Chain A
Amino acid sequence: MKFHIIAAKDLKIVMRDRNALLMLFFIPMVIISVAGLALGGESDDIQIDVLIVDLDNDEVSRGFVEFLEEIDILNVDMESNEFAARDMVKNKEYGSLIIIPLGFTESVMMGHDTELLIIVNPTEESFNTVVEKIVEGYASRISTNVVVVKTASAYGIPAHTEEQILEIVDTAEEFVQPPPVDVIIESTTSNLVEFSPFTQYVPGFAVMFLLFTAVQSGAISLIKEQEAGTLRRLVTAPISKAEIIGGKIASTFIRGFVQLTVLIYFGHVVFDLDLGSDILALFVLIAAVTMASTGLGLLVAVHVKTVDQADSVSLLLVMLMSAIGGSWWPLSLQPQFMQDMAHFTITAWAMDGFYDLLYFDQGLAGILEEVKWLVLMMIIFFGIAISRFKFE
């Protein structure tokens, strides 16, 4: 077998190519770092500016303000003028404004319906969602008081004095703390790892750059050999066509495998990315993703005629797969039909596999499904490509 001679030659050419090395390692490392820090960062660093107008300024409303002030991620500021406060949110000085209406405390105490108003700036949507959830949670607790007082009245227990009301509410709160119906979230694995943005961005961008290596560079390397006539020359030598294609596949695979391994390890060393407990499974997944990508590269090479065509077709494929397959954002953020479509791509199965290993720590058994689909893709890509491969 002589395929290793071709693979070794290709790898030597890559090692000499400074641009190829930059694209293999340096640029992906920079992009992963920038994306991880810019789009995610440490959760402790997140601070949401919230403005409050307390028109009530009574016991329950002050309790609510104190509750908000104790939340680490919120920067709470007070404003007495409602119109000025609305302008500040409009001018993006604050992401959201909470208005506590006059009589809020009395309504809660007397069991009357009341409301808390949140005014949001739509450009701060992700932070607004956090503020909304916090306020809804508090409102739900306050609602307990209203319900208790209403229920007492409905059964003919009058609560005429403030003292009596507080007594009833205190008793009710004793019953709801802890809540009688607790929600317990149980993971399919007991080894759930703490989520960090790098759990998404390290494998996401690493897979994208692997696709650039295996699909784009792999296809271009083959087309260049066709254009230069070196492939024709090899066919005139006593070496089989299978060995020639095998050599080209081997060199692309080795390049991609090393690249993906180095980038994941980079994430581990620099950004403390948890690699899970099954390193063998990680290598199996990396190998499966790289083989499927190498197959796609060969498939592109047999369907294009020039280096320029290979370049643009593979660029389009890589960007599409990265966008819909979950390289740039978690797949779960996409609508269901997009998630279904995404699973026609290498990226989606790769990202599912990396989540299973790096976040859920499911080991080899957890990635069998992903590996199965990646191997199936590899077989289909290689099957079509090799049957159509022309040395002329």
Chain B
Amino acid sequence: MNTDVIITVENLVKRYNGHTAVDGISFEINRGEIFGLLGPNGAGKSTIISILCCLLEPTLGSVVIDGSDIRKNANNIKKIIGVVPQEISLYHTLTARENLAFYGKIYGLSGRALKSRIAALLDMVGLTERADDLLEGYSGGMKRRINIAAALLHEPSILYLDEPTTGVDPQSRRRIYDTIQDLNRQGMTVLLTTHQMEDAEKLCHRIAIMDKGKLIALDTLKGLLELVGESDLIHVLAPEILPGPVESIKRMPGVQKVSLDDGNMTIQLLRGRESLVGIIDILTSSKIQVESIYIKEPDLETLFLHLTGTKLRG
């Protein structure tokens, strides 16, 4: 992985109608890196992607991509970026090949070069045999793979993926991961936004965690998990959880945070295994009907709860 910086974001602010979607964010992305923006819906991730792909003007701050300022050289930037939007931005009554041909022509490709590029990309996403079928007959995962291929026609040096695995089956998710990792091995810088921990954990070299428009942590996965220390998460699922036992659990030694969400109680605590019996005692003595209870090793979910006090998927 090269370590020279390809994207620099400084004090970025974006306000819409009095609402601040991005609030003074700064970060750098290195050439050849897979960089993840992780956060719940509404954290400001998509707004940052929209600014980085020249769709939105920042209210304040600066963005420099491969030496070009986004305000002054948007056209240069558009030539070196590939954008995979969150939605399937394709034409469903055209075939996969026709969709790719359309976007290829928009990027200035034509003739034999366009045909061979389309063939290579169809092969890469494993849809050569279905290339001449109308997209409306594709599964969600297949459409998402073509959605990615459409961003790669002009061989961009930076790829933005906005929630690339939303709503896809595990097989397609695996395929998308492989595609992203292959592209990265070939030297492509990847910026992906996601609210799925698995995406960030499996793909990203570095992860920026966002909440309410602010950057609350930025490091490698290992570095971020060290912020949590030795905390575990205990998840309890019960039809009704009363305030009394919750307060008792909060007073137990080692308990750091307790959150409740519609029959789900999440307890962040040190050395979870040692406290598990005590928690079960409190719940059973309060006659709470527990449907399931399990301990989770520290992960980004634990970190998010640790940093914000709320669950990532909330």
Contacts and interface: CB of A to CB of B under 8 A. Distances in A.
A5 B85 contact: no
Contact of A13 (B87, B93, B107): B93
B87 A236 contact: no
Contacts of A163: none
A238 B83 CA distance: 12
B55 A392 contact: yes
Contact of B88 (A5, A228, A238): A228
A285 B102 CA distance: 33
A138 B107 CA distance: 79
A62 interface: no
A234 B106 contact: yes
Nearest to B107: A237
Interface residues of A, number: 20
**Main SS class of interface, B:** loop
Contacts of B56: 392
B78 A238 contact: yes
A233 interface: yes
A22 to B, nearest CB: 15
A9 interface: yes
Interface string B43-75: 000000000011110000000000000000001
A235 interface: yes
Interface in B104-124: 105-108
A229 B53 contact: no
B10 interface: no
A233 B89 contact: yes
A17 interface: yes
B83 A236 contact: yes
B90 A230 contact: yes
B79 interface: yes
A239 B55 contact: no
22 contacts: A5-B102, A13-B91, A13-B93, A228-B87, A229-B87, A229-B89, A230-B89, A232-B85, A233-B83, A233-B89, A234-B106, A237-B78, A237-B106, A237-B107, A238-B75, A238-B78, A238-B79, A238-B106, A238-B107, A391-B55, A392-B55, A392-B56
Interface of B: 53-56, 75, 78-79, 81, 83, 85-91, 93-94, 98, 102-103, 105-108, 150
